[in-house]
Amino acid sequence: MTVSLFDPVQLGELALANRIAMAPLTRNRAVNNIPSELTATYYAQRASAGLLISEGTPVSQQGQGYADVPGLYLPAQVEGWKRVTAQVHAAGGKIFSQLWHVGRVSHTSLQPEGAAPVAPSALTAATKTYLIDPVTRQGSFVAASAPRALQAQELPAIVEAFAAAARNAVQAGFDGVEIHGANGYLLDQFLKDGSNQRSDEWGGSVENRVRFVMQVVRAVADAIGAGKVGLRISPASPANGIHDSAPQPLFEHLLRQLAPLGLAYIHVIEGATGGPRELPDQPFDYAALKAAYRDAGGQGVWMVNNGYTREMALQAVASGYADMVAFGKDFIANPDLVQRLRQGAPLNPGQRETFYGGGAEGYTDYPTLGSS
Ligand code: 8OZ
């Protein structure tokens, strides 16, 4: 029997209503890094997704790289998230939080005591971060600051920050967490040889470069249970100036290591994040990656993302290529995306000017079918 995008699916211990996920989306509207009532409205409006994945939530101030993103390391942040999860659950939805450490993709103005951001190696990311002027409230894109290389003895505290944030997530009412291992942030920086040039046990060989990610995933799984944990990766994406000379063997090794842990899901960004799915300079065989995971005993949901149309998503699930499909930008502009996909209804276009920063406009005011 073929499975449909609109069929229920089991995610760890959770029964999801359908196989459509809302991808994590940074929106820069959390003043003082605390989610607001408006944030709760925004997520609750989208609760018909089988799974909502929150915007990236820093596990520490050091892990923050953008203005006004909501954290998960202070009591007031946990309290703010409680409103979000309560409203999502009241609307019948399920929500994971995305645990995030940006590593070198940050700016001194966001770091504790104006310090340099941290990274596996002292190599500046060729990318920009998003800052908001505290006085004028004007947003702007600014070059990432030069990072300093982490000392090996600093790594256990970062691993523990992920575990503590995962416990906070459960306390805040989240159904689980997604570890952000993608898009050129700290975990991806350790994985890839363009950003990890360490000569200790955390760099060099593929075995060494996966070590940090494995420690974070194990610590989070130990903290809240592997069935409540997913991992997001972007093997070939150049996002935030990241590069690896041979991603296929790197990621196949990583997924073989992860397979026995019993994670709820693996979430794969195919191609360039938010951009082309095919990269002539960086070909990658995603089916082979999944096969390596399954071959090593990896179970749970295989979630795919990046530029999926309705037709592609229907086909991906019906063919067995994927168990779930995550939609990003389409969920910004279409709170009722599931219903629209079900009916083949047209989608609202997204307003790029209001993706990052601001208030209700372009956040909670996109119309549902029949309301406009
Ligand atoms: C867009 C703007 C800021 C952050 C990612 C968390 O790429 C992000 C992000 C995306 O994963």
Which residues are CB-contacts of 54 (< 8 A; sequence separation ≥ 6)? Answer: 24, 43, 84, 95, 96, 97, 98, 174
List, for residues 277-304, the tens digit of each pLDDT value: 999 989 999 999 999 999 999 999 999 9
Write down the pTM of the prediction: 0.98
List, for residues 69-89, the tens digit of each pLDDT value: 999 999 999 999 999 999 999
Ligand 1 centroid – CA 225 distance (Å): 26
Identify the pLDDT of residue 372.
62
- What mean pLDDT do residues 332-360 have? 97
- Across the chain, what does the average pLDDT equal? 97
pLDDT band for 134, please (50, 70, 90 cuts): confident
Tell me if 102 sits within 8 A of 117, measured CB to CB: yes
Ligand 1 centroid – CA 25 distance (Å): 7
Ligand 1 centroid – CA 274 distance (Å): 10
**Quick check: is 66 catalytic?**
no
Q: How many other CB atoms sit within 10 Å of the CB of residue 154? A: 11
Identify the pLDDT of residue 371.
84
- What mean pLDDT do residues 358-365 have? 97
Closest residue (by CA) to atom 1 of ligand 1? 26
- What mean pLDDT do residues 2-15 have? 97
> Atom of ligand 1 at shortest distance to CA of 180?
11
Q: Pick from 319, 339, 343: which is nearest to 331 by CA?
A: 339
Which residues are CB-contacts of 203 (< 8 A; sequence separation ≥ 6)? Answer: 120, 121, 190, 196, 197, 209
Distance CA 255, CA 249 (A): 10
248 phi, psi to nearest 5 deg: -60, -55
- What mean pLDDT do residues 205-230 have? 98
pLDDT band for 137, please (50, 70, 90 cuts): confident
Question: What percent of the chain is modeled with pLDDT above 90?
Answer: 97
- Spell out which residues line ligand 1, taking CB within 6 angstroms: 26, 56, 66, 183, 239, 273
Per residue, the 3-state secondary structure of the chain, as one string, reads: CCCCCCCCEEECCEEECCCEEECCCCCCCCHHHCCCHHHHHHHHHCCCCCEEEEEEEECCCCCCCCCCCCCCCCHHHHHHHHHHHHHHHHCCCCEEEEEECCCCCCCHHHCHHHCCCEECCCCCCCCEEEEECCCCCCEEEEECCCCEECCHHHHHHHHHHHHHHHHHHHHCCCCEEEEECCCCCHHHHHHCCCCCCCCCCCCCCHHHHCHHHHHHHHHHHHHHCHHHEEEEECCCCCHHHCCCCCHHHHHHHHHHHHHHHCCCEEEEECCCCCCCCCCCCCCCCHHHHHHHHHHCCCCCEEEEECCCCHHHHHHHHHCCCCCEEEECHHHHHCCCHHHHHHHCCCCCCCCHHHCCCCCCCCCCCCCCCCCC
> Atom of ligand 1 at shortest distance to CA of 98?
6
Distance CA 122, CA 148 (A): 5
Ligand 1 centroid – CA 65 distance (Å): 10
At residue 362, what is the residue type? G
Distance CA 62, CA 79 (A): 21
Q: 136: which 2 tokens?
A: 């004028």
Closest residue (by CA) to atom 2 of ligand 1? 26
247 phi, psi to nearest 5 deg: -65, -30
Tell me if 96 sits within 8 A of 31, measured CB to CB: no
